[in-house]
Amino acid sequence: MFEKEERMLKEMNKSAEVSTEAVSDEALDAAVRSGMRRGRRHRRLRARLVSFSAVMVTVAAALLLAVWGGDEGGLKPKEQMAAQGPYPPLTGFDFGEDITLNTANKYGMIQPVNQSVTKGDYTVTVNGVLVGSQRMDVFYTVTTENPADLKRVVLKHPGSSDPLPYSVSSSGGNKLAPGVLHRSQLDVQTNEDTPLPQELTFSFILAPYSTNTVYESSAENEQVIDINVSIDVQTARKYLTTIPINKMLQIEKQRFYLKEAVLSPAGIVVKANIPSSNTMKVSGLWGVYLETVVNGEKIRLNSDSAFLPGAGGGDMTYFFESNILEKPESIMLKADGFQAVDPSTMQLVVDTEKGKVIRSPDGDIQFGEYTKHMLTLEYEERADRHMGSVSIEPEFVDGEGNKHMINEDAGGVNSSSHSSSDTGISRITQYIYLKPQEYPQPLTFTLSSYPGVMEQAFEVPIQ
């Protein structure tokens, strides 16, 4: 049930890339030393010795074996439950101008982990996590002795091989150079029906670098590194607040319902519903953001991602930045209208053999290339034409009417963007992975969202 949300989220994340600036050698050394000093958190046994009788010695020995679970492979401490925050600030990571991360770190909400595992050429360290409502940021480092790719990161229950149905995106790049400490961040989003558990296993899947598999999510000779982490969900819950909104927005006959906002240090979640009775294809709010007031100063909190509704409307979720730890005097949701298009135009027809786009909603999508069953399409986003997400349904139809599914195992649908500060234009490249076979032409894809706007300003108070 969650594949659609994950695919939509990945597409909306294309403009939310995080750049990491260089960190001084001194800062890197300090971070490494700090991680080595902390290591794995062990359970400490405090005892007050009142006698040294043979009975007490025997009991103490039994207790020691029970705590340390002695086995032939050596003494191994039992896992310790996550300590509760606030915590000391996380060091060694540059948060740039990220409002959420800087505020959370200032107030000690990033839980230190500092768990490391080495396998073969690779060493992975989970340094810290920030947990909130339907969201978690994970900060980690990777080193390798040879050129490598971080192919993917999967979250699981400890001892399970089944991945949890979360959306996981990474910043900081996946190509790993040898002898370099790579610092990166995972952004994890969850459906409200699949909350984060207290115990998690992070599976980092790495492989030797190869030009043949650089764009693939899997490769030969993969190495899986599992790191078990205890999440401090109790501290996260202390700072979580749910505020009902219950506000229906309307433009002409099209409607959009705001249900509630959930405030947490890791982000502000706004839940909404798009009525199925709309005659236009309404896919969200246009120009939406939150405006908070802190000490009389207005601060803008942007939405960097969302779970979009299905083709016929339904529930959707916005993920906004957060500065709630600064105790804002007010929080206001603002938007410039609805993202809405005529549903009869939501088809994309492509001939991969002739190398051209036959039909798109406005004729602006251009053919890139079709190589090794990967189709690339290109288009421009301009401020004057209402930039917005282009989302493609996983099912498509070939020239003979046969239905097929996009190859999610190879990468599904994702995109990249190149922006020009001089022109204000972003060049978007959409990557669509198809399963290896011959397809009768042309191929018809259904678009679940496309740039188009009904303009009207809205202001909705949240707090």
Higher per-residue pLDDT: 44 or 301:
301
The pTM of the whole model exceeds 0.85: no
Higher per-residue pLDDT: 458 or 364:
458
Write down the pLDDT at residue 443.
97
Confidence of residue 388 (pLDDT cuts 50, 70, 90): low
**Could you report the per-residue pLDDT of 238-267, keeping only the tens digit for each?**
999 999 999 999 999 999 999 999 999 999
Q: What tokens does 171 get?
A: 């910043």
Q: What is the CA radius of gyration of the chain?
A: 25
* 33-42, 267-276, 283-292, 312-321, range with the lowest pLDDT: 33-42
Taking 50 as the threshold, does the pLDDT of residue 18 lie above it?
Answer: no
CA distances from residue 348 to 58, 361, 406 in whole angstroms, order as listed: 76, 7, 14
Q: Rounded to the nearest 5 degrees, what angle is found at the Cα of 235, between the Cα atoms of 463 and 103? A: 55
* C-alpha of 410 from chain center: 19
Distance CA 56, CA 264 (A): 49
- The sheet carrying 199-208 orders its strands as 175-176, 148-156, 199-208, 223-230
Is residue 317 within 8 A of residue 306, CB to CB? The reply is yes
Distance CA 40, CA 254 (A): 55
Neighbours of 3 (CB within 10 A): 12
Per-residue burial over 278-293, b = 16 or more CB atoms within 10 Å of its CB, e = otherwise: bebbbbbbbbbbbbbe
Neighbours of 380 (CB within 10 A): 14
Distance CA 444, CA 5 (A): 22
| Side chain identity at residue 425, one-letter code | I
Q: What tokens does 131 get?
A: 């947990």
Average pLDDT taken over every residue of the chain: 82
Taking 50 as the threshold, does the pLDDT of residue 122 lie above it?
Answer: yes
Write down the pLDDT at residue 83.
59
Distance CA 365, CA 430 (A): 10
Q: What tokens does 151 get?
A: 């192919």
Distance CA 325, CA 254 (A): 36
Q: What tokens does 188 get?
A: 């994890």
Of the spans 21-30, 43-52, 169-178, 235-244, which averages the highest pLDDT?
A: 235-244
Write down the pLDDT at residue 31.
38
CA distances from residue 72 to 43, 45, 65, 69, 78 in whole angstroms, order as listed: 20, 22, 12, 10, 15
**Could you report the per-residue pLDDT of 395-430, keeping only the tens digit for each?**
999 999 999 999 988 889 988 878 766 766 788 899
Of the spans 52-56, 174-178, 199-203, 220-224, which averages the highest pLDDT?
A: 199-203
* CA nearest to 194, candidates 148, 163, 151: 163
| Side chain identity at residue 16, one-letter code | A
Of the spans 137-141, 168-172, 220-224, which averages the highest pLDDT?
A: 137-141
Q: Of all residues in the chain, what percent carry a pLDDT higher than 70? A: 78
Average confidence (pLDDT) over 74-82? 38
Q: What tokens does 262 get?
A: 């959930």
